[in-house]
Structure 1
Amino acid sequence: MERLTLDVNGAFDPAAGGLARADLDALAAPARAAFDGFEARRRAGEVGFADLPADAAAAEASRALAAELGRRFENLLVLGIGGSSLGGRAVLGALCHPFHNLLPQDRRGGLRVFFPDNSDPATFAALLDTVDLERTCFATVTKSGGTAETMSQHMVLRERVVARFGEEGYRERCVLVTDPQRGVLRQIAADERLRALPLGASIGGRFSVLSPVGLLPAAAAGVDTAALLAGAAELEARCRSGAVLENPALLYAAVLHLLDVRRGRRLHVLMPYADALRDLGDWFVQLWAESLGKNPGTGPTPIRAVGATDQHSSLQLMMEGPHDKVVTLVRVAEPRAELTIPLPAGYARHPDLAYLGGHTMGELLEAERRATGAALRKNGRPTISIELPRLEPRTVGQLLMFLELATAYAGGLYGVNAFDQPGVEAGKRYAQGLLGRPGYEKYRDELLGAPAADPALVLG
């Protein structure tokens, strides 16, 4: 069976300022405790993301609804933000054609899928002016039903759709993904007779990619979601040990944790050498940051980079800046496509170009990855390597589950709850107070009562 491979040797390289095996040995008991703590919460029904691959009913409901929408429409707008958007976008970015939405219908194999994500009115207005509403459906994704950014998009789009197609046309075009029992969106589903997929109480937004949150847009775009879930199940099965050298996700969490607390490597760079994993990097940033950043002494900062693009930008800082980074290099062994580099006759006399002739672009990218890793380590920077045989649903499912489990285990190692986000909620309360939400007046008053700005520090 082809599967994800984790190699942490670059994190133990003495030349890279890496760890000693004794550091890992000393973490064996805390790592097992982190594993046991996660499993206890899982058995208690508090945390459910690792069990999603076995939820056949949710997977089938997502596929069936996607198929129904695909028979009637051409465009799917996914209205969600953060974990309600990033996971689906990551899956489509990894597994669909790089220009999926530009392909003709007979080549796409599914709907065109758009993730407006943010509530920037310029972006959302431009999207609504671009797509044909006659051929467009939309999925509103918010577990609570009260996410201001998502519901503002929903209400704007609802008004346009009802005005043009009536209430029945709205019901045909709108589906929801929300809590199965509670929340304002669940009530709206009942009041407006809308189709709704459930997002269980034990599934947090940033851990929801393998739930209907990610499966609906993936299936709508033509992704084999059964294989995606099968790969996730395979990786989860590999991680049923509390021994750090038997569980790849636990090893990854342990090494990153040790590099942080023992070596001051507080910036964790995920650098895939595949454009298709660019959006997955954004998903990882939310997963790692929102799960682990819970107090001033805890919170490694995740950074998304892409090879070889960022070799021409942020690599300079990684290579010669502060010794506070560890870089995870992600390799895809077999690229989805390959191109041989030709050598025109007039170019052969230029040594700076002639050496490229006859190689493939995949060979160039792989040489860049290997060279970057070696140069980082030689310059005192530890690295970690993840390899996927190829980008296909099964291996991408493995990678998603690997990173989710590693995040959960890291929470245990840091002694924080990886499944809440109190800091995010604080900002939301101020914003909702400013907009006049009942019961939030004290937050508005606190914000408006802040000391006046010093005009000398404002330049216009």
Structure 2
Amino acid sequence: MTANLVLDINLATDEQIGANGISLRDLEELAPRVKQLHAELQEKRRTKVLPFFDLPTDTAASEAAKAIAADLSKSYDNLLVLGIGGSSLGAKALFSGLCHPLHNLLPKEKRGGMRLFFPDNADPVTFSGILDAVDLEKTAVAAITKSGGTAETWSQMLVLRERYARLGEGAFDQRVVAVTDPEKGALRRVATKAGWRTLPVPPAVGGRFSVLTAVGLLPAAAAGIDVDGLLAGAADMVRRCESDDLFQNPAYLAAAVLYLMDTKKGRRIDVFMPYADALRETSDWFVQLWAESLGKTKDVGPTPIRAVGATDQHSLVQLLMEGPNDKFTTFVRVDAPNVDLPLSKGWEDQGDVAYLGGHSMHELLNVEHQATAAALAQAGRPSMTIRLPRLDAHGMGQLLMLWEIATAFAGPLYGVNPFDQPGVEAGKKFIGGLLGRAGYERYKSELEQRSPKPDWVV
């Protein structure tokens, strides 16, 4: 039987850190709202308004993604994953979290899947560098955009269309898989006309909640990740979060702690700090999920910050210890490593080194987490810790679903809709205007009226 993720909030409580911590009473006072919001979320789940809850048990969708991934793997070595934001961050988190750290450098028989490349940004230096490194004959393309019209993704598609044309007629069409809305959008229209293989993104699942759709599952399966284990872990977390008891529901408890730290203790900066290099990209995924879901026009929204232990003990922790007391840290640690390295005894005449002998590298990493959390607590700086039994597909599924449910719960706690992003749309309109998109002329005019004054440019 697989083990469950554990959430430990001890070092966020007043019992451990005094007045800077939250009290049992603070949490108990939330109980009526918790029960109300839980009932509302479960009703939205029942009526399919929030289908992300049930993605882990959507067998048809996962089997379709796995089938296309298996087919691609037979013919191609590389997969270019074109997407940005929610169409990329989840897949990157899965790839870095569950594959060998140098997956793309391993020989085919050792890596167990395709090599994955994530151009993500519309940066010509990065994209041309990837194209320099891969053989397009052996490269497939996953074009991922829920709306079907993402400018950055289409810019990459336009470059690739021209490059693949050099390989002969149909070379591009036979290599592309479109992951997009099932009915509408430019990508859906183009894919249908060209006869590309396609996978749907459920219309009611927002991009930042889409990691367990084909958006994340196609790249994961192509890389050789255990998709079934991932979904099983997520399903286990959904079941744990079906309780309206705050102390039996880890996602609600995590959200409640962060909400109370913000609204009662003035901690509007949330530091997400896993003690595992493999979870660096998960930090980026969390930042988008938390920021884009909760940062809304009502002057609402904590600011998430990405960190990695133990690396950022040598940079950010100084600020956390002695800087403005407006931050809350969420640590993530892995109890049992997939790989560990023993530290042999040596240089025993050097006291600064000798004490390390006989321990292991993973032990050092987890002791560093424990010590950092304790030092912060001693200084009255609160934190909580998520413990993963192992960093495997099941554990990753639990972790991702915990934060998706926590975000869905935190939104109504703050009184905002966690599933929209109106602030992102304004910039897209200006992009259209500046690049000559039909119907967007007025946005270009608005920008021209705000032309920089020379007096303010040095």
Whether TM-score is above 0.5 comes out as yes
Partner of 1:458: 457
Give the C-alpha shift of residue 39 in structure 1.
2.1
Residue identity matched to 1:224: D
Q: 1:31 aligns with which of 25, 29, 34?
A: 34
Give the C-alpha shift of residue 296 in structure 1.
4.5
Residue identity matched to 1:124: F
Give the C-alpha shift of residue 331 in structure 1.
1.0
Partner of 2:400: 400
Give the Cα separation in 2 of the matches to 1:78 and 1:246.
Answer: 38
TM-score (norm 2): 0.97
TM-score (norm 1): 0.97
Residue identity matched to 1:63: K
Q: Deviations over 1:152-182 (max 9, x none)?
A: 1111111211232322x22221111001111
Q: Deviations over 1:23-81 (max 9, x none)?
A: 11111112222222222222232221111011111100000000000000000000000
After the TM superposition, which residues 42-441 of structure 1 pair with which residues of structure 2 at under 5 Å, given as runs?
42-167=45-170, 169-344=171-346, 347-441=347-441
Tell me the secondary structure at the aligned position of residue 196 of structure 1: strand
Partner of 2:25: 22
Q: Deviations over 1:126-162 (max 9, x none)?
A: 1111100010001000011110001111111112112
Residue identity matched to 2:442: K
Residue identity matched to 1:183: G
Give the Cα separation in 1 of the matches to 2:443 and 2:45.
Answer: 35
Greater mean deviation of Cα atoms: 256-265 or 6-15: 6-15
Give the Cα separation in 1 of the matches to 2:58 and 2:455.
Answer: 59
Give the Cα separation in 2 of the matches to 1:444 and 1:423.
Answer: 18
Give the Cα separation in 2 of the matches to 1:75 and 1:165.
Answer: 19
Residue identity matched to 1:134: E
Give the Cα separation in 1 of the matches to 2:326 and 2:37.
Answer: 25
Q: Deviations over 1:253-299 (max 9, x none)?
A: 11110010000011111111111111000000000000000124210
Residue identity matched to 1:311: Q
Q: Does 1:8 align with 2:9?
A: yes
Give the Cα separation in 2 of the matches to 1:50 and 1:165.
Answer: 44
Give the Cα separation in 1 of the matches to 2:313 and 2:273.
Answer: 10
Give the C-alpha shift of residue 13 in structure 1.
3.4
Give the Cα separation in 2 of the matches to 1:272 and 1:13.
Answer: 24
Give the Cα separation in 2 of the matches to 1:248 and 1:127.
Answer: 40
Give the C-alpha shift of residue 342 in structure 1.
2.3
Unpaired stretches in structure 2, ≥5 consecutive residues: none
Residue identity matched to 2:26: D
Give the Cα separation in 1 of the matches to 2:249 and 2:226.
Answer: 27
- Percent identity reads 56
Aligned length: 455
Give the Cα separation in 2 of the matches to 1:50 and 1:322.
Answer: 37
Give the Cα separation in 2 of the matches to 1:123 and 1:382.
Answer: 39
Give the Cα separation in 2 of the matches to 1:226 and 1:262.
Answer: 41
Residue identity matched to 2:431: A
Q: Deviations over 1:172-207 (max 9, x none)?
A: 211110011111111111110000001111111000
Residue identity matched to 1:65: I
Give the Cα separation in 2 of the matches to 1:382 and 1:145.
Answer: 42
Tell me the secondary structure at the aligned position of residue 172 of structure 1: coil
Q: Deviations over 1:199-222 (max 9, x none)?
A: 111111000000000000000000
Partner of 1:41: 44
Residue identity matched to 2:340: E
Give the Cα separation in 2 of the matches to 1:217 and 1:453.
Answer: 43
Give the Cα separation in 2 of the matches to 1:152 and 1:190.
Answer: 19
Give the Cα separation in 1 of the matches to 2:168 and 2:388.
Answer: 46
Give the Cα separation in 2 of the matches to 1:358 and 1:54.
Answer: 45
Give the C-alpha shift of residue 123 in structure 1.
0.7
**Runs of 4+ with deviation above 4 angstroms:** none
Residue identity matched to 1:357: G
Residue identity matched to 1:121: P
Tell me the secondary structure at the aligned position of residue 386 of structure 2: strand
Contact 1:332 1:387 in 2 (8 A): yes
Give the C-alpha shift of residue 229 in structure 1.
0.3
